Amino acid sequence: MEFGGRFGVIDSFRHNGLVPALALLQQMGATGLDFLGLTHPHEDHYSGMGEIFDYFATRDGVGEFWRYPALDWKNLYPVLKARIFRNAGAPIIQAQANACVNELHDFYRKLLQRPGLIIRNLEIGFHWTLWEPVSCRVLAPAGAITIQAAERLAQEVTYSDQKREPLNDYSFALHFQAMDHSIFLMGDVSKKSWICSKSDSLWPGLITPGRNVFLKASHHGSDSDNPDWLLSAIKGADSTKFAVTRYTPSGLPRSKFMARLASFDDGESHRLSEKPSEAGPSFEPECLELEITSSGVQCRRWSLDQLSALVWN
């Protein structure tokens, strides 16, 4: 996200050695980050974050780290390692998974050792001014879920037959209000999290969008991850709609979800990648840039080819 020469990043990924978000930030001339956010600890959301952090730590720095609440790293790390150990997959798959967890471990070590870094634990009800006049409100997850996390994670480490704790339950979702424009940013928020969030006493305070709604849907694109109330609010807004989703070669998003997006008859619905073919699916990651100005919010899509050219040229 960019506003008046100030920058922030939520989630990252690495593809063939390239971190698209970092390449884009370098192209834009960023020397510091006001915030770096991780919606939840899955590889396609955290890989490359350590490289982003290292780059700005040696320049103007990173002001805040936004993290999913309750999943304290000292409790989460042994759980992720235990999951790898219990995985019956091939050794090469286990080695790759172990490398991913170690990457996240190194990233957290850097965060905790960084003097002056503000760590903001996000859950529903948090509301603050990010950049005047841009405010940020947390939509999920609810405290009712996060307070159970430590106990469940401890059980998973202790008992080998304990069902895996779904980390998507702790993914945060954000609503940015810039003047009369709205931006919705989702992690892979689970249906369970949305249900608990709706019961929160602070939930009615959500601002109904008036113009130019931008939705970055969870990349899975499932109905459970994108509740009807949110899609209905966007469809009922007064002006342009811009819906965005990205997804993996597994055949997602769900056709029902895409049909709902396509029902925005007076706006636009954009997908970041073409649907993978059954014959040979390929995932081409793209980077989504949101620029907030006094005249509105601009959304740009950067392909991997574009970002690779920025790096190698």
Contacts of 310 (CB under 8 A, 6+ apart): 23, 24, 26, 27
Sheet architecture: strand order including 211-216:
127-131, 134-140, 173-178, 181-186, 211-216, 241-245, 268-271
Q: Give the per-residue pLDDT at 180.
A: 75
List the beta bridge partners of residue 227.
none
Distance separating the N- and C-terminal Cα atoms of the chain:
24
Q: What are phi and psi of 299, to 5 degrees?
A: -115, 125
pLDDT at 265 over 50: no
pLDDT category of residue 207 using cuts at 50, 70 and 90? low
Query: What's the mean pLDDT in 83-108?
Result: 86
- pLDDT, one tens digit per residue, over 26-77 is 989 999 999 999 999 988 889 999 999 999 999 999 999 999 887 888 889 9
